[in-house]
Structure 1
């Protein structure tokens, strides 16, 4: 059955893992100290820092960065740092070449599109708003991050379905991570694993797999670009 909505992961799904690991993360790490010195007293940044434990906020943040921790304060702060890079042109959001055309075709056909990523909602909007394929933000009906819950917990997907106003069974979730797909399936969503060779993703065998978005379209009755 063709889904009424497609919920998308970013890293490894719409966007290369290398872009996130080798471009975005180092960009934020390099800019952290200067950003905190310049903006640490601003209300939005101060509110984020209030959620960071310990007296040495920068040290805690760097520890989280080194561990690739999926913690909301770090993701929110990284999003603010990346926003500066997108705004001044130092960053452009990477998308796999097959992604934008399919997203546009699906949206034009009335399919609801939404993003669910561990990166902050602000960072998601910046990536798609300043993407290599132009501003794709208007295509999306919703953006969700870890404030809705962890990506490996079924309750997060139940909450997203409710926010989109759709039964879980009407939503297809796309991700490269099998454990995220397990959680989505447990909540009643259809699930498909993106297995992109360039990212080194290994098919789990627990869910349908697709090498790119046109293959997803073919498998689930969505319009091709």
Structure 2
């Protein structure tokens, strides 16, 4: 059965939704872990790095934490898969450079890119909302196996510019930032808590359930669900289709 929506914009989660969580955990996490130390020692004066370091110290409750202590905390948060904003910021810096060098190529499920291109062509705006930083999102879409997908995307949102993904207020911020009415937005994610928050903010929400993903067995509660993007039909009011 195809789920049909007439909306003006689709907002996409990445891990478990457009792309395999396993790729992020098995490829990107080790890549960043091996480079945290060098980033902290060589580029502590960079404004973005310095800001993230200050945020780590604040989260630790230790304003005097040195580089070794910060690196240890980052590694522990990686092990916990904690969605800490400074962790995501520093990962984003490292991943962006890795993608730019060609060390990394992002992953998308095979049903995703054709759907994104079709929705974009139909006049539907596409946005991304991920716990990964905006810098990481930009690099991810720019460095896909099918080339640069960033021109398909109108906006990028993370936990810093929008807020935590399981809080309705974050989705209200995105709606305001995009100038789109809540009932004209569709959110796609594999995480039930995020879907709940989007729906509470007045959005449409569909749970993506892909075998092998962390939330597959748990399910998506009482939300509409799809196994692939092929099962979702999106039409914009601006479309003549």
TM-score normalized by the length of structure 1: 0.93
Give the Å deviation of 1:109: 0.9
- Kindly report structure 1 stretches of 4+ aligned residues shifted beyond 6 Å: none
Q: How far is the alpha carbon of 1:42 from its aligned partner? A: 2.3
- What does residue range 1-225 of structure 1 map to in structure 2 within 5 Å? 1-53=5-57, 54=62, 55=65, 56-147=69-160, 148-199=162-213, 201-202=216-217, 203-217=219-233, 220=234
Where does the alignment leave 5 or more consecutive residues of structure 1 unmatched?
A: none
Q: Shift in Å at residue 44 of structure 1?
A: 2.4
Paired residue secondary structure (1:141):
strand
Q: Which moved more, 1:207-216 or 1:59-68?
A: 59-68
Scaled by the length of structure 2, what TM-score is found?
0.87
Q: Per chain length, whose mean CA-contact separation is higher, i.e. which structure has more relative contact order (CA < 8 Å, sep 6+)?
A: 2
Count of residue correspondences: 221
**Structure 1, residues 205-224: CA drift from partner, whole Å, max 9, x if none?**
4111111111112xx5589x
Provide structure 2 residue ranges, at least 5 long, that are not aligned to the other structure: none
- The Cα of 1:34 is off from its aligned counterpart by 2.0
Conserved? CA contact 2:10–2:125, under 8 Å: yes
What secondary structure sits across from 2:148 in the alignment?
A: coil
| Aligned-residue RMSD, C-alpha | 1.5
> Conserved in 1, the CA contact under 8 Å of 2:119 and 2:235?
no
Cα deviations by residue, 1:176-213 (Å, 9 ceiling, x for unpaired): 00110000000000000001114251333411111111
Q: Is the 8 A contact 1:102 1:213 kept in 2?
A: yes
Per mean C-alpha deviation after superposition, the further-off stretch among 38-47 and 143-152 is: 38-47
